Structure 1
Amino acid sequence: MKFPNLSIDELIKFHLVFDTLDIEKSYDDIFEAIENEILAKYQEFRFGFDSDTKKALMKFAKNDRKKYSINRYLPHYKATRIVNELLESGFLELELSREQKPTPKHKHEKLPKRLRRYVIHDKVNFSSHFTRFWFRFIEPNLALLELGKSDILLDIIKDDFDNYLSLGFEMLSQEVLAKKFNLNLEDVYSFWTKELEMDILTKFDDKFIVGEVKYKGRKVCKSVLNLINARCEKLGIEPDIITIFSRSGYSKELRNVKDKNLLLFGLDDFKILVE
């Protein structure tokens, strides 16, 4: 794909839709590219899954991606089979939870029933951004394309596009952090429990790095830093480095925070991924 005149912001958008597609034409506008290369050619991208598998993929493309979340929409045995097949084929990838299951503090302690039944939820990722885009926007709305109403679908995509991009931006932020600190990408991950989520958590050389990622059209305020500190306190973590990634910059108050352990990343930092 050709990107002669695109800003890093636009490059990110194109990558998070067209990562696995080989497109010859050059575009300056992401929605024009989506209209011409996906909506107009949708019949070229049909996936040969059965209806239940498509339903599962559409749910994963839209929800929190927890492995067992589709049990609410499909019988347990069927959901398990579908997820296992998608993982084995490489269409989906497993993102393991780093949460520790509650355990007794001493040999004779009996945990409360709610803790004995506590389930740790792994998540799934699509193996490509394009397939996630497809099952979030295209597959649920094929009827619109078949009726020639691609303009309506394009409006649907535009209305939800930033929400869609936020996960991919988080994944790219983890790549940036790994490169900046010369870490293996698999050592930089998100952390979640039933109660909270941390976009970035890594430990190396006995140091904790934590972080938050914001793909918003407005500047990030100091309240995000306060939120990170509150989550760390709840997790019992004393971070050595706090990172924040923002698409749209930072408030003056946050930029003026005097803390050498606070690192603020902007779009220019993502250029390291294309150098």
Structure 2
Amino acid sequence: MTNIKLLEQFRSFYFRNYPDDMETQIKYFSIFGGLGQDVDTSKPLAQLIEELILQNFDTLNEKIEQLTLNEPNNKRLLNALAVGDRRIFSAFKRAGLNNGNGGGTLNFLQEKGIVQIEYSREAQSKKISKHRISHKVLFTYPFIRFWFYFIYPHIKEIKEKNYENLFKSIEDKKNSYTSLVFEELSEVLLNYNLRDAQIISSGSYWDANIEIDILTLTDKMEIYVGECKWTNHRINKSELHKLEEKCQKLEIVPFQMILFSKRGFSKELKNMQGKNLALYSSDDFEALLKNASHTELIESFI
């Protein structure tokens, strides 16, 4: 279902900072969403990361340690969830935890409101393979995910004021990092546009062989499937073919397929838009700001 908390944070971030366009909004929100500070989105990201995070590192690190009780297992699992595939069992393995202490750690992080579980819908599929189904985890606040994706792995260097490897990592992985927030917001946008329908189930879909960014089912048994691409080039017809192949393997016939793109679409894809195919680029996310109050500033994780 629509992630109301993320939508509220997205709106709050916009009305607090008024970025020039939606691409900038999404890019900066994916890092600073939840930080609860004014963000001058006219400045380069690297400059803002240094000003808002690195220059305030001691204060922010203390707040993170309070949030996690400075417990190593909590921080290792958050790092594993941030940089991995979000699947619970693989995150336990990456963090060096077993099902026992890993489960206890995950429960604590849920209770603190740091993460939330995205439950697998594989059992709802016609094709159920014989393997252990693993649920996934989403971060409640983009900034905490940024911290454990980029800051935590370089924390010793940062304490020594050595930022070279940190900024290299951010530059190399920034699109990959932003992709998840873009995917979450894309689901929010799709569900917003389906607000007159009764949504039964919505979220990403995964099993042992197939992953689909968004799969939404309505009470009329209409299936909407979507793929999200946060890349610096326009999406072409090949991405539509890949999504069609996934639907065939899953043995579903979608009512509509939706592609979400950072930078738009090829002319060929645009000509194919219609009842069966919808295309959304960054500018379309402005719809999420409609009917929103610009007086509510609620995005801080503190």
Residue 267 of structure 1 corresponds to which residue in structure 2?
282
User: Do the aligned partners of 2:212 and 2:225 also contact (CA within 8 Å) in 1?
Assistant: yes
Question: CA offsets per residue over residues 187-223 of structure 1, 9 Å max, x none?
Answer: 4311100101111111112211111111111111111
What TM-score, normalized to structure 1?
Answer: 0.89
1:219: which partner in 2?
Answer: 234
In structure 2, C-alpha distance between the alignment counterparts of 1:33 and 1:258, rounded to whole Å = 38
Q: CA deviation at 1:253?
A: 2.2
Residue number in structure 2 paired with 1:108: none
Q: Aligned residue for 2:88?
A: 67
Q: Displacement of 1:71 after TM fit?
A: 3.2
Report if the CA contact (8 A) 1:10-1:30 is conserved: no
Deviations 1:82-118 (A, max 9, x none): 1121122221101011111899x9xxxxx9xx82xx2
Greater length-normalized contact order (CA 8 Å, ≥ 6 residues apart)? 2
Provide the rounded CA distance (Å) in 1 between the counterparts of 2:92 and 2:166: 28
Q: Is the 8 A contact 2:74 2:105 kept in 1?
A: yes
Distance in 2 (alpha carbons) for counterparts of 1:188 and 1:76: 27
Do structure 1's residue 144 and structure 2's residue 157 form an aligned pair?
Answer: yes
Aligned in 2, Cα 1:101/1:68: closer, same or farther, shift over 3 Å? farther
Separation (CA, whole Å) in 2 of partners of 1:63 and 1:157: 16
- What is the alpha-carbon distance in structure 1 between the residues aligned to residue 209 and residue 263 of structure 2? 28
What TM-score do you get using the length of structure 2 for normalisation?
A: 0.81
Quick check: 1:54 aligned with 2:68? no
Quickly say closer, same or farther: Cα 1:5–1:65, change in 2 above 3 A: closer
**2:202 aligned residue:** 188
Q: State the partner residue of 2:168.
A: 155
- Work out the CA distance in 1 between the residues paired with 2:151 and 2:186: 26
Displacement after TM superposition at 1:42 (Å): 1.2
Instruction: Classify 1:264/1:24 alpha carbon distance in 2 versus 1 (closer, same or farther; 3 Å).
Output: closer
The alignment partner of 2:25 has SS state of: helix
Q: Structure 1 residue 98 and structure 2 residue 121: aligned? A: yes
For 2:37, the equivalent position in structure 1 comes to 23
Secondary structure (helix, strand or coil) at the match of 1:68 reads helix
User: What RMSD over aligned residues (CA atoms) do the two structures have, in Å?
Assistant: 2.3
Contact 1:175 1:185 in 2 (8 A): no
- 1:266 and 1:102, CA in 2 relative to 1: closer, same or farther beyond 3 A? closer
Of 87, 107, 112, the residue aligned with 1:84 is 107
Cα contact 1:242–1:262 (8 A) shared by 2:
yes
Write the distance in 2 (CA, Å) between the matches of 1:130 and 1:184.
32
Runs of 4+ deviating beyond 4 Å? 183-186
**One of 21, 27, 31 as aligned partner of 1:13:** 27
Structure number with greater Rg is 1
> Any unmatched runs of 5+ in structure 2?
1-12, 291-302
- Quote the offset at 1:151 in angstroms: 4.1
Alignment of 1:107-126 (within 5 A): 115=130, 118-126=131-139
What pairs up with 1:171-210 in 2 under 5 angstroms? 171-182=184-195, 187-204=201-218, 205-210=220-225
Aligned equivalents of 1:99, 1:68: Cα separation in 2: 16
Secondary structure in 2 matching 1:218: coil
Mapping 1:242-261, distance limit 5 Å: 242-257=257-272, 259-261=274-276
In the alignment, the residues of structure 2 paired with residue 132 and residue 186 of structure 1 have an alpha-carbon distance, to the nearest angstrom, of 28
After superposition, the C-alpha distances for 1:131-153 in whole angstroms (9 at most, x for unaligned) are 00000000111111111112442
Query: How far apart, in 2, do the equivalents of 1:57 and 1:249 lie?
Result: 33
Q: CA deviation at 1:31?
A: 2.4
Matches of 2:285 and 2:125, distance apart in 1: 38
3-state DSSP class of the match of 1:237? coil
Classify the secondary structure of the residue corresponding to 1:100. helix
Number of positions where the alignment pairs a residue of Structure 1 with one of Structure 2: 265
Deviation at 1:170?
0.2
